Amino acid sequence: MESPCCAQVVGEEIDRYRSPGDDTVAKILRVVPAISSTRRLNPSGSVSGIWRNVHRPVNDPLSAPVHCRPNAAVAMIIAVRARRLSFLVGAVALVVVLVVTLVSLGIGTKSSTPQSGKSTSTTTSGSTKKRPTVAQANPADSHTFLGPYGVEASWVVAENKLPGTTDWQIEDEPTSGSIAGFSNKTYAAAGNHVTLYVSSTAPRFRVEAYRMGYYGGKGGLLVWRSAEVTGRDQPNCPLTPAVNMVACDNWKPSLTFRITSAFLPGEYLLKLVGSGSAQSYVLLTVWDPSSHAAYLFKGDVYTEEAWNTYGGYDYYQGLGNCAPTYPVCNRARVVSFDRPTATGDGASDFLSNEYPLLRLMEAHGLDVTYADDITVEQHPSILLQHRALLSLGHDECWSLAERLAADRAQDHGVNMIFFGASAVLRHVRLQASPFGPDRELVDYRDPSEDPLNGKGNPLEVTGNTWFSPPTSWPESGFTGEMYAGFLEPDSPSAPFVVEDANAWIFKGTGLHDGSAVPEIINTDFDHLAPSWPMPSDLQVLGHSPIPLSEVQTDLGEWGTYTYSDATYYTTVSSKAGVFDSGNNNWIYSLRPCPTSAPTCSAGVMQKITGNLLWLFGQGPAGRIIPSVANWRQVVPADS
C-alpha cells in the first residue's frame, strides 16, 4: 500500500503545477488509487489534503524523508509497481511517471501562493491575482526571531518584499456618479464567503481587494479583482424612529466572493470602482483562527460604527431639532453595520488611526495577525493565543464580552497596548439584524432608556460610560488612566513632553526629561486620576501640558493647563504590561512626513513605538522590565 506521506507529497506536487481548468488531476486520481485513497478534492478542485486545510506546514521536498520526496522518487515507486501490472495499465503508469518527472525538471508553468501554492478563486465572478514566488511567505511555515522593533516573522518579511501598488488609493473626487457599499461580515477567515451590498449610479462596477501593508513603500497588494457587475441604485435606507437607527437591510446583494488562500491574514480595503469615476471602500479583516502570532492587531469596528453618520445619525448627533441635552436627544441609540460608512471614502478612520501602525509593523516584518472587536466578542479565547493585544487609535467602544476577554487575557500575562485615548470609555452590546447575528450595536447612553435596565444583567445596561451606573466600572483600573477631554477641532497639536527619559521606551531616541516632540497630542486625551481606581505601580512616561483655551475638559485643571499622560504599569500576579499613550494622535504621528514638512516627528515616534513593541512582543513585560512607580512625583500634583 502506498505511503500516506508519499501520497500527500504527490498531491501537493499536482496542486503546485496544475493550471486552472486542467483535468490532469482527475485523470491521475483514476490511475493512481493510492493517492485518491489518502487525499480528497476540496471545493476549489484542488487535491490539497486535510493537512493543509488546517494550516499545518506543507512538506518541503528538500526536507521530506527520502521515501516521501516528490517527483523522481515517487516516479520510481510508481514505476516499480507498474512492472507488476498488465501491459495496458503499465503503459498508463509510465505516462504518470513521465508527467511527474517532467515537472521535477521544471517543464511547465509554476504558480505559488503563500498558503497553498494555488491561487484560483471560487468566486461568483472575478479572478485571484497570482502572487510572485517568495520563500516562506506562509504563516503556517513561518519562523520567528527577535529584531530591533520586536518579534519578527519570516512570512511577514517575505510578504512585504512583494511588489506592491498604489492603485488602492482614492485621490480624486468623482466628477460624476456615486458608489457606496457594505459587507455582510466585518471579518472573515479562509473558506468563508463574503457578500457585498453596493449602491451605484454607475451602470457597471468592479471590486478590487487590496491587502494593506508596506510592500516596498507602495502600501498595498492587489489580491483579487471581480468581474464587472451590473450597478444598482439601491433604495433609501429606512429609519427606525424609536432608536434613530438607519439600516440598509432593504438593499439587494450585489455579489458574493470566497476568501481563498490568497487572502493572507490582514486588513483589506475592498475598493469599489464604478464605470464612471466614482470610487469608495469597504473594510474587511481576514483572520486566522489558528494563529499564535506575538501581536494581535484589533480593528476598532465598534467605534467606527458608533461615529458613522451615514443616513444622518450616530451616537453623538442626529437630524432634527430637540431640547439641548447631554447626550444630545436626537442621537441614535442603536447603529447598524448594515449600511455604508460615511467618512474616509467608506474606510472611516482606518487610514489615519490604524494604517500608519500597520504599515510600520509590516515594514519591520513583525509577527502580527489581525482581528476586530466582533472577532473578540465571538471568539474571546483568541486573546490567549497572543502576547500583546493592540488597541488602536480610537477604541472607545467596548462590549462586556470584549472587556471580560481582555481582563482574562491580562490575568494570563497578555500585554495590552492602548494606542489611543478614551479606550474602554463607551459601553456597547451587540444584537441581531435581519441580515444575521451581531449586526446592530446598542448604546443608549442613558440607563433609563435601555430596555435591559432593571431586567437584565446590570453589566449589560448601557449608561453614558463604563463608569456610569449601573455598571460603575471605570476604565482607569485597566488602562491606567481616565479619559479627560478633547482638543477643540481647530486647535493645533500639542507637543509630547518626556517625563522619564531613563525609561526603556526612550532608548536610542536621544530624548531627555522635558524634551518636547512636536505636533503629537490631538483630539481625545487621558491623564492621571488618583481619585479613581488606578494601579499603584503606575509609571508616567510622558506628561504633556495643553492650554485650557484649546480643550474641553471637566477632569482636572492646573492653572491655565491640563495634561495628557502616557503611562505604563505591570501587574503583580501575571506580570502583564499595560501601556496607554494618552492621546488619539499617536498612530497618525507614525506616518511618513512629506519632504516639504518643516519638522517631522515620525522618526522618533517610530523608534519609541518600536521599543514598545520590542518589549511587549516577548511575553509578560513585567518579567523583563517591571514598571517603576513615579506618579506621585509628577507635578503639578495629581495632574
Q: Is the dihedral of CA 426, 429, 434, 436 positive or negative?
A: positive
Q: Is the Cβ–Cβ distance between 143 and 346 less than 8 Å?
A: no
Helix (H/G/I), strand (E/B), else coil: 158: helix
The domain spans of the chain are: 4-104
Helix (H/G/I), strand (E/B), else coil: 421: coil
CA distance 148 to 611: 8
What pLDDT, on a 0 to 100 scale, did the predictor assign at position 140? 82
What is the tens place of the pLDDT at every residue in 583-627?
999 999 999 988 888 889 999 999 999 999 999 999 999 999 999
Quick one: which H or E segment has residue 548? none
Count of other CB atoms within 10 angstroms of residue 50: 12
Phi and psi dihedrals of 560, rounded to 5?
-105, 20
8-state DSSP, 104: H
Q: What single string gives the DSSP state of each residue in 170-210?
A: --S--SS--EEEEES-SEE-TT-EEEEEEEESSSEEEEEEE
Q: What single string gives the DSSP state of each residue in 328-376?
A: -TTS-SEEESSS--SSGGGTTTHHHHTHHHHHHHHHTTB-EEEEEHHHH
Q: Is the Cβ–Cβ distance between 369 and 388 less than 8 Å?
A: no
CA distance 224 to 219: 16
H helices of 18-121, in order, are 24-31, 33-36, 50-53, 72-82, 87-104
CA distance 629 to 638: 14
What are the average pLDDT values for consecutive 10-residue runs of the chain, which has 639 residues? 36 34 35 31 31 30 34 37 41 42 36 34 56 61 95 97 97 83 98 98 96 98 98 98 98 98 97 93 98 98 98 96 91 98 98 98 98 98 98 97 98 98 98 98 97 94 97 97 96 97 98 98 96 96 98 93 98 98 98 86 97 98 98 91
| Cβ-based neighbours of 502, under 8 Å, separated by 6 or more | none
Quick one: which H or E segment has residue 146? strand 144-147
Q: Is the Cβ–Cβ distance between 247 and 270 less than 8 Å?
A: no
What pLDDT, on a 0 to 100 scale, did the predictor assign at position 35? 30
CA distance 242 to 334: 10
8-state DSSP, 130: P
What is the tens place of the pLDDT at every residue in 14-51?
333 333 333 333 333 333 333 333 322 233 333 332 22
C-alpha closest to that of 393 among 442, 344, 439: 344
What pLDDT, on a 0 to 100 scale, did the predictor assign at position 32? 33
Pairing mode, strands 577-580 and 415-418: parallel
Can you list the positions of beta strands (E) in 481-613?
Answer: 482-487, 494-497, 516-521, 524-527, 539-547, 551-553, 561-570, 577-580
The answer to pTM > 0.75 is: yes
H helices of 182-310, in order, are 301-306
Cα 483 versus chain centre, distance = 24
What pLDDT, on a 0 to 100 scale, did the predictor assign at position 89? 39
